[in-house]
């Protein structure tokens, strides 16, 4: 049989892996992973993602009988050397959709094919290819609902998941760098507090999926808004790294459920598709406002305010709880992501890119498409974005979505004895109540960094000035 390479990237699994399936059918397979920080530039993985990748690669290598060849550097010369050393006739990979990867992969494919090497690429990351979900005139959708209803669901059903290859003959490479040589773990042991919150492997991703479908998807439509409830799947990091495919999630959910909760869950998978679609057609999404009028927005420059937001020390408990959940677990509940995002760009008037970069470094599910599209949505500058004048009130959001304070008290233990009535606005509590709760504002817990009402008015005034500039 000929020798072929299966180049693993964001598809760290054996089940439903089109590239691996095709490679296994073509010959003896050399499984390869290459950490490419050179071509990634500023989009090289952040610290939390690298921690996740470390464990995911170890798990994949174990599943392959410790036969995963791991390297670091520019993939083209590495692949060329492996092709020469092992008499490789073909290279298989699943497509990635970040702009820098598209450019890199195009060059690699052209170069290898010019030297007589067959290159086959597949879709292992999305339910639908971006070019399959455009409007009738060929333009991409910029509004989610028609994108999902017309561009996706009515186009064709997603590909059904593939089984693990029945026969997989592996080529063993002893001289490679190995996972540990990638130095993916942070030098400061910040990541150690992540450990109790995650199991990282293909099998763990499927277990998490089954637990969600057995328990969490019930009341998903409403329950997903409450961070203390277990109504979210927490599958986002496994979807990003490909320990589970969206096709597997889609069909597993449809096989077990129906009704509104299922439809809302599938639409969240649709948002993931929409974000990737936006990034594919608008490759400057991570850096530039999709709506150019926001280029003139009068953002503030306040390093101290940014640091207090990052540390969960704004004085607004639901915001601080979310930022501390992020730091302690590498994850944040989706409703709270919207709250902390709104607070940064609207109450603090800090550029959305500050939030995008912080999330990129601290989220285990940091994904270029999801992260940039979501921040632009919150800021009002993106596609189908929340109107800029929609400003989340951190007090009422906490009262509505964490009514008994379970989530907030968990991450802000210094407020655990504050009565529910004042939990989200402790500055309004009578001094005797704060004293009884052991809270001294400005000492044990910070004073509010801004006034909610005044900062809201400032945000609206800034937006009005932007509209005036556009109209002028």
Residue 385 has pLDDT above 80, yes or no: no
Q: Is residue 377 part of a domain?
A: yes
- For residue 387, the model assigns a pLDDT of 79
Residues 118, 31 share a domain: yes
Mean pLDDT of 280-305: 95
pLDDT band at 468 (very low <50, low <70, confident <90, very high): low
Digit-coded pLDDT (tens) for 77-123: 999 999 999 999 999 999 999 999 999 999 999 999 999 999 999 99
| Active-site annotation holds for 299 | yes
State pTM to two decimals.
0.96
Average pLDDT of the chain, as a whole number: 95
Digit-coded pLDDT (tens) for 206-239: 999 999 999 999 999 999 999 999 999 999 999 9
The alpha carbon of 14 is separated from its chain's Cα centroid by a whole number of angstroms, namely: 22
| Active-site annotation holds for 309 | no
Residues 362, 306 share a domain: yes
Q: Is residue 243 part of a domain?
A: yes
Which of these is catalytic: 100, 129, 190, 299? 299
Residue 359 has pLDDT above 80, yes or no: yes
Residues 422, 366 share a domain: yes
More confident call, 288 vs 463: 288
286: Cβ contacts below 8 Å, ≥ 6 apart: 43, 279, 356, 368, 371, 372
Mean pLDDT of 447-460: 96
Residues 452, 364 share a domain: yes
Percentage of the chain exceeding pLDDT 90: 90
CATH number of the domain where residue 35 is located: 3.40.50.620
| Active-site annotation holds for 268 | yes
Which of these is catalytic: 375, 377, 393, 425? 375
- For residue 316, the model assigns a pLDDT of 98
Q: Is residue 24 part of a domain?
A: yes
Residues 75, 103 share a domain: yes
CATH number of the domain where residue 210 is located: 1.25.40.80
Which of these is catalytic: 309, 352, 360, 377? 352
- For residue 127, the model assigns a pLDDT of 97
Domain containing 445 equals 292-471
Which of these is catalytic: 100, 132, 334, 414? 334
Percentages helix, strand, coil for the chain (3-state, rounded to 5) are 55, 5, 40
Residues 116, 134 share a domain: no
CB of 128 within 8 A of CB of 152? yes
More confident call, 21 vs 464: 21
pLDDT band at 470 (very low <50, low <70, confident <90, very high): low
Which of these is catalytic: 271, 309, 327, 358? 271
Q: Is residue 164 part of a domain?
A: no
Nearest 5°: phi and psi at 40?
A: -70, -30
**Domains contained in the chain, number:** 3
Which of these is catalytic: 118, 132, 268, 414? 268
- For residue 212, the model assigns a pLDDT of 96
Digit-coded pLDDT (tens) for 296-319: 999 999 999 999 999 999 999 999
Mean pLDDT of 281-292: 95
Residues 75, 134 share a domain: no
| Active-site annotation holds for 198 | no
Residue 467 has pLDDT above 90, yes or no: no
Q: Is residue 190 part of a domain?
A: no
Domain boundary among 251, 281, 311: 281
Closest CA to 422 of 399, 441, 438, 445: 399
Residues 142, 219 share a domain: yes
Residues 348, 460 share a domain: yes
Q: Read off the tokens for 470.
A: 């556009």
| Active-site annotation holds for 334 | yes
| Active-site annotation holds for 7 | no
Digit-coded pLDDT (tens) for 117-157: 999 999 999 999 999 999 999 999 999 999 999 988 887 89
142: Cβ contacts below 8 Å, ≥ 6 apart: 278, 383, 384
Q: How far apart are CA 2 and CA 424, in angstroms?
A: 65
Residues 238, 226 share a domain: yes
The CA-based angle 266-271-273, given to 5 degrees, is 95
Q: Where are the alpha helices (DSSP H) in 158-245?
A: 202-211, 220-223, 236-241
- For residue 282, the model assigns a pLDDT of 97
Closest CA to 127 of 26, 3, 275: 275
CATH number of the domain where residue 393 is located: 1.10.579.10
Mean pLDDT of 416-426: 98
Residues 269, 318 share a domain: no
């Amino acid at each position: 049989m000929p020798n072929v390479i299966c180049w693993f990237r964001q598809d760290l699994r054996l089940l439903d892996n089109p590239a691996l399936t095709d490679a296994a059918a073509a010959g003896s397979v050399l499984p390869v992973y290459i950490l490419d920080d050179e071509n990634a530039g500023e989009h090289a993985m952040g610290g939390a993602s690298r921690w996740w990748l470390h464990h995911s690669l170890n798990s994949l290598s174990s599943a392959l009988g410790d036969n995963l060849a791991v390297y670091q550097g520019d993939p083209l010369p590495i692949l060329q050397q492996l092709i020469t050393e092992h008499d490789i006739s073909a290279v298989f990979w699943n497509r990635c959709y970040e702009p820098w990867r598209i450019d890199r992969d195009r060059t690699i494919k052209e170069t290898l094919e010019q030297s007589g090497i067959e290159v086959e690429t597949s879709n292992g990351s999305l339910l639908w290819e971006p070019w399959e979900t455009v409007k009738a005139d060929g333009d991409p959708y910029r509004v989610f609902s028609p994108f999902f209803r017309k561009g996706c669901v009515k186009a064709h059903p997603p590909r059904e998941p593939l089984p693990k290859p029945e026969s997989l003959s592996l080529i063993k490479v002893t001289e490679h760098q190995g996972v540990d040589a990638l130095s993916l773990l942070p030098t400061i042991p910040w990541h150690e507090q992540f450990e109790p919150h995650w199991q990282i492997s293909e099998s763990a991703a499927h277990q998490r999926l089954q637990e969600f479908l057995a328990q969490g998807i019930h009341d998903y439509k409403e329950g997903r808004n409450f961070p203390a409830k277990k109504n979210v799947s927490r599958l986002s990091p496994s979807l990003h790294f490909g320990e589970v495919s969206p096709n597997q999630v889609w069909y597993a959910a449809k096989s077990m459920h129906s009704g509104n909760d299922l439809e809302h869950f599938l639409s969240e998978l649709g948002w993931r598709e929409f974000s990737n679609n936006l990034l594919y057609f608008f490759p400057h999404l991570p850096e530039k406002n999709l709506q150019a009028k926001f280029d003139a927005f009068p953002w503030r420059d306040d390093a101290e305010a940014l640091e207090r937001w990052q540390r969960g020390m704004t004085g607004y408990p639901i915001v601080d709880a979310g930022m501390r959940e992020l730091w302690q677990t590498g994850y944040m509940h989706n409703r709270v992501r919207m709250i902390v995002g709104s607070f940064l760009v609207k109450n603090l008037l800090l550029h959305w890119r500050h939030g995008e970069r912080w999330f990129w470094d601290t989220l285990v599910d940091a994904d270029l498409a999801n992260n940039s599209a979501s921040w632009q949505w919150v800021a009002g500058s993106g596609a189908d974005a929340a109107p800029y004048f929609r400003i989340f009130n951190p007090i009422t959001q906490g009262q509505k979505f964490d009514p008994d304070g379970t989530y907030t008290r968990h991450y802000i233990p210094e407020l655990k004895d504050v009565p529910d009535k004042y939990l989200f606005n402790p500055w309004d509590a009578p001094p005797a109540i704060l004293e009884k709760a052991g809270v001294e504002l400005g000492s044990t817990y910070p004073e509010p960094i801004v006034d909610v009402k005044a900062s809201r008015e400032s945000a609206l005034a800034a937006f009005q000035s932007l509209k005036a500039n556009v109209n002028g």
